[in-house]
Amino acid sequence: MTARLDDLSVAPLTYPEVGATAGTLPDGYDHIRRGAIIGRGRERFDSAADALFAWRMHKRAGLRVTASTPTAVVGSVLIAQLGVGPARFEIPTRVVYVINEENRRGFAYGTLSRHPAQGEEAFVVDLREDGQVTFTVTAFSRPARWFSRGAAPAVRLVQRWMTNRYLRALS
């Protein structure tokens, strides 16, 4: 698996709008922007950000995770797997930016070859002035492979289902 992670670290991303989850989401894709209040205070913020950066959120959401680094940094490759046996899909991504501010932490990753979709997904934890801790998932994507194009409505449902699982994983 290490050789595969190394290959993916230099593989091209499958979409041109790299970093767009930090601003205006591009046309021509399905968009998701969902958030939740996940607690209060600095300790909660720190623990949620740590779980996010150490890939624990993905694991808690039910994905099998293989990553090139123990924590998310720009260039980290993540191969998540969803499903079982022959119905298991590989979901390869690479971290394209990181947010590491006092009251805002997160990262975005973009899709790589063999991912069922093409696009980008961002995960951001915020500590608001009123002490609330929020977690937001922002994504743009469209089907990229023959099977995902043929099942586009189902792919959108799975992505929304996973977004809900991500939100619950940090709650």
Q: What does the pLDDT read at residue 160?
A: 80
10-23 average pLDDT score: 94
Whether residue 40 is contained in a domain is answered as yes
pLDDT of residue 24 exceeding 80: yes
The number of folded domains in the chain is: 1
Whether residue 49 is contained in a domain is answered as yes
Whether residue 94 is contained in a domain is answered as yes
User: Nearest 5°: CA angle at 107, between 105 and 110?
Assistant: 170
Whether residue 45 is contained in a domain is answered as yes
Q: What does the pLDDT read at residue 2?
A: 61
Whether residue 42 is contained in a domain is answered as yes
Q: What does the pLDDT read at residue 171?
A: 86
Q: How far apart are CA 50 and CA 136, in angstroms?
A: 15
Q: How far apart are CA 25 and CA 62, in angstroms?
A: 27
pLDDT tens digits, residue range 51-106? Answer: 999 999 999 998 999 999 999 999 999 998 876 666 667 889 999 999 999 999 99
3-state SS, residue 4: helix
Whether residue 21 is contained in a domain is answered as no
Whether residue 111 is contained in a domain is answered as yes
Q: What does the pLDDT read at residue 46?
A: 98
Domain with 150 in it? 2-16+26-170
Residue 29 DSSP code: S
Q: What is the CATH number of the domain that holds 35?
A: 3.30.530.20
